[in-house]
Amino acid sequence: MTDDDAVLPNLEELLSTARVVALPLVTRFRGLDAREALLLEGPQGWTEFSPFAEYDDHEASAWLAAAIDYGWNAPPPALRDRIPVNATVPAVDPDSVRAVLARFPGCRTAKVKVAGGDETLAQEIARVRAVREALGPEGRVRIDANGDWNVDEAEHAIHALAPFDLEYVEQPCPTVEELAEIRRRTKYMGIPIAADESVRRADDPLAVAEAGAADILVIKAQPLGGIRRALDIVARAGLPVVVSSALDTSVGLAMGAQLAASVPDLAYDCGLGTAALLAADVTRDPLVPEGGSIAVRRVDPDPELLDRYAAGAERTEWWIERLGRAYAVLDAAPRTGLDAAPSGPTD
């Protein structure tokens, strides 16, 4: 996107098509029972603005920049038309693992949520064991701690989970410094460290790569300010990447799929199969995994489903006001184009 292309549409244009939805989840995820999102229709098609509720207006502005980029600008060329995806296993008991995996047909990689909440390490080991048994020896198992361990806890947990042949450990600790330390401590085990929050919620998303704190970057289109900004980070970081989602609707997942389609080297299955975690979606043709992958395509929401799952008046007003505040941050930012949209502060 050139500077001339990166025109910020006016707020009234954005609000004219804004629809807020609340989609129920199959299983509680990130403490949520429903996923709220604000959808917009631009000249290129429908797009999504759905920063999590705890994110401040500065962080949310990057998500809005991404929504505008995808809805108002033609995407970069696609290098592939389908994206291999992983299954995502929330904090469920081991007996529920196979039912979760069944929602991701054909997926041979599973990301298992660990850490956080009131679970013990023994419970997390049991869940990872159940995933490994369900996938068999040829399946790939990765774990995601969302930065909820300190370095000592992470080292202990990685040792305990290593027998399950981990593909990588995602965001075991919250800070770049801690990631560098846990990577140093566990390097002899040959289990790569991936960074997620240290990329998408950082003032400098390249700091983790520059510090040698990760082997893999997890990138997400919305938090990073859009497809082009994410591709620029990939090019400058020089590390392999996994393109993932933020529990988006299928409209947001389509943005993530377009990003994954444009990444030059895509060595890992992507975390873009999360529509399977939604009990409802905004389209009758959702981007759920088929044969272990999802298609690269635009998604148009169904008007009847937008009405059925419309958020209540209070939540709709909250999202509309939030969009306005995020827009004000974008409008005031010293930039020549949306590619320079601000990212959020470090956790």
Asked if 227 and 69 count as a contact pair (C-beta separation under 8 A), the reply is: yes
Which of 19, 35, 113, 200 is catalytic? The answer is 113
Question: Annotated binding residues for Mg(2+), as ranges?
Answer: 144, 170, 196
Residue 139: both structure tokens together: 């399946």
Residue 68: both structure tokens together: 């505008």
Q: Are strands 293-295 and 82-84 parallel, antiparallel or unpaired?
A: antiparallel
Q: Tell me the C-alpha to C-alpha distance, in Å, between residue 267 and each of 83, 208, 216, 217, 243.
A: 11, 20, 10, 12, 10
Which of 103, 183, 200, 220 is catalytic? The answer is 220
Question: Annotated binding residues, as ranges?
Answer: 144, 170, 196
113 counts as catalytic: yes
Asked if 203 and 226 count as a contact pair (C-beta separation under 8 A), the reply is: no
111 counts as catalytic: no
Asked if 325 and 57 count as a contact pair (C-beta separation under 8 A), the reply is: yes
CA distance 58 to 328: 10
Which residue type sits at 89?
V
Residue 1: both structure tokens together: 């996107």
For the annotated catalytic residues, the residue numbers are 113, 220
